[in-house]
């Protein structure tokens, strides 16, 4: 963590509509070099090992628009502890500091990108398989279909257009 300043957290899925941590402000943000994709088998939050769901990961290539949350320096450890407990259950994510553009300025933000070598990495699935997994997925965090709908609705509210997500939500 930065020792003497606030920092940012980049959100691209459920952290956008359910961050679960204190923040000073939230702003639209863009991350280059990664894109949002249903590419992670969920065995906990949105599925089980017997009936996995899918959740988003930041996969290589492209760009992703989402939210950035500014975290006060004195709350940094608490927020990062929370995020590690939430995001790092199975190690499918790689935590990293990445440059993110917030209001036209480049800032470093904590984010979680997908670990392509993890057993939960689903890779690039076609729409039919993606929808099958989303329809069956239900875990301690609820139904995978609700996760898709909530994320799509929140992106719409923010004026962020994700054509793939819209297509999946409509097909669901």
If DSSP states are collapsed to H, E and C, what string results for the chain?
A: CCCCCCEEEEECCHHHHCCCCCCCEEEEEEEEEEEEEEEEEECCCCCCCCCCEEEEEEEEEEEEEEEEEEECHHHHHHHHHHHHHHHCCCCCEEEEEEEEEECCEEEEEEEEEECCCCCCECCCCCHHHHHHHHHHCEECCEEHHHHHHHHHHHHHHHCCCCHHHHHHHHHC
pLDDT tens series, the chain, 172 aa: 877 889 999 999 999 989 999 999 999 999 999 999 999 999 999 999 999 999 999 999 999 999 999 999 999 999 999 999 999 989 999 999 999 999 999 999 999 999 999 999 999 999 999 999 999 999 999 999 999 999 999 999 999 989 999 999 999 9
Q: Which of 77, 87, 138, 157 is catalytic?
A: 87
Residue 87 designated active-site: yes
């Amino acid at each position: 963590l930065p020792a003497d300043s606030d920092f940012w957290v980049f959100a691209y899925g459920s952290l956008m509509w359910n961050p679960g941590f204190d923040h000073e402000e939230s702003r639209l943000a863009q991350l280059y070099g990664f894109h949002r994709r249903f590419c992670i088998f969920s065995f906990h939050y949105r599925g089980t090992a017997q009936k996995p769901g899918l959740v988003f990961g930041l996969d290589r290539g492209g760009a992703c628009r989402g939210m950035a949350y500014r975290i006060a320096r004195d709350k940094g450890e608490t927020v990062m502890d929370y995020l590690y407990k939430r995001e790092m259950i199975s190690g499918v994510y790689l935590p990293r500091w990445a440059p993110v553009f917030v209001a036209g300025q480049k800032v470093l933000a904590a984010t979680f990108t997908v670990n392509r070598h993890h057993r939960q990495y689903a890779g690039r699935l076609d729409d039919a398989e993606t929808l099958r997994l989303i329809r069956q997925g239900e875990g301690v965090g609820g139904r995978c279909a609700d996760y898709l709908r909530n994320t799509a609705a929140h992106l719409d509210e923010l004026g962020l257009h994700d054509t793939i997500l819209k297509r999946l939500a409509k097909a669901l």
